[in-house]
Amino acid sequence: MYSQEDLNSAVAAGAISAEAANALRAHVAAERDAVPADAEHFRLITGFNDIFVSIGVIILLMAMGAIGDAIWSNNDGPSPVSGALVAATAWMLAEFFTAKRRMALPSILLLLGFVGGTFFGLLGLAVTIAGVNTGPGNEVLATLLVSLSGLLTAGAAYIHWKRFMVPITIAAGTAAIAGTVIALIVAVIGPRNPNMETIILSLVFVAGLVIFAFAMRWDMSDPRRETRRSDVAFWLHLLAAPMIAHPVFAMIGVIDGDNIGVGAAVGVLAVYIAFGIVALAVDRRALLVSALAYVLFALTFLFREFGAVELSFALTALVIGSALLTLSALWTPIRRSVVKGLPTDMQARLPATA
């Protein structure tokens, strides 16, 4: 299996002509009865060897973390040695499995290991230098330490991106920056503010919208979804979706308890339909997936409220499963109808419809 990026690389190297590459794309699109953009392709696994290597990567990184804890166990926070060993090991492994072998799933795990190891290593070092416990009574200092670690981690993610160009790296760095900004605002407002939960939800929602706009910028730069930019946008959408969905449904009250009320349940369904329209317009399914759990909960409540107690979950699963499969089968014609209703200049910026 070859990705769009592989085809572009082959054209650049002169192995095949651009016309041949386009003909191959058209043939595959015709066989699948969909244009490449509608399929929302991204490479994750090309063979069982990816899974085999990924298992080895996870085991080795866990071992390095345990060795780091044995060398320096930090009671006040994460072990800086553990984080450093995990990050360094992930980088060295990436030099082979990412830079040379170009293995997708191991590259993603190695990136996450590098970013996670860097963050917790820096946080452990900051806590050690500060000489304080980040527990109760030191909330402001703890928040500042997290912010500093997040900012430096974003810088490390940028360096990783320049070296290996793994698409998920931009999302990881963006998440670090978003976490840093939110933590700094919380530190300024004061962690003991009685409305802190609402404030954090609002900040996460705003951050999600900003990241969604950032993802659309990457998407619009590659409307045919033939380059690495499309993969970068995919991971950014995957990051933005829960940051948008969770605060919205939390404010509706769907996560407050079992008895959410009929009004809240109907509100969840209305918001999910709105998410669906946006997902169709931009041709990204992340919003639908991230909000799925809330819709399942709301529908289960509605079925139970109207007497179908024993079959509430079964009926909910039947409705949602049928709706998702129908939407998947008819994604292209439904999306075409949605896009045609948008302004012409906006249509030109969105991915092509079949």
In this predicted model, what pLDDT tens digit does every residue of 253-301 receive, in sequence order?
Answer: 776 655 567 777 788 888 888 999 999 999 988 888 888 888 887 887 7
Torsion sign across C-alpha atoms 174, 285, 243, 62 = negative
pLDDT, tens digit, for every residue of 98-147? 999 889 899 999 999 999 999 999 988 888 877 655 555 566 777 788 88
- DSSP 3-state assignment of 287? helix
Mean pLDDT value of segment 226-233: 86
Decide if pLDDT at 207 tops 90: yes
pLDDT at residue 33, as a whole number: 47
pLDDT at residue 195, as a whole number: 83
d(CA 291, CA 227): 28
> From residue 340, how far is each of 121, 161, 260, 272, 352 by CA, in Å?
50, 37, 37, 21, 11
- The highest-confidence range among 57-66, 226-235, 271-280, by mean pLDDT, is 57-66
Q: Of 110, 108, 190, 176, give the one whose Cα is nearest residue 142.
A: 190
pLDDT, tens digit, for every residue of 332-342? 889 989 988 88
Q: Residues 93, 94, 100, 102: what is their CA dihedral angle, to the nearest 10 degrees?
A: 120
**pLDDT-based confidence at residue 222 (cuts at 50, 70, 90):** confident
Residue indicated by tokens 């302004």: 343
Every domain of the chain and the residues it spans = 1-33, 44-168
Decide if pLDDT at 30 tops 60: no
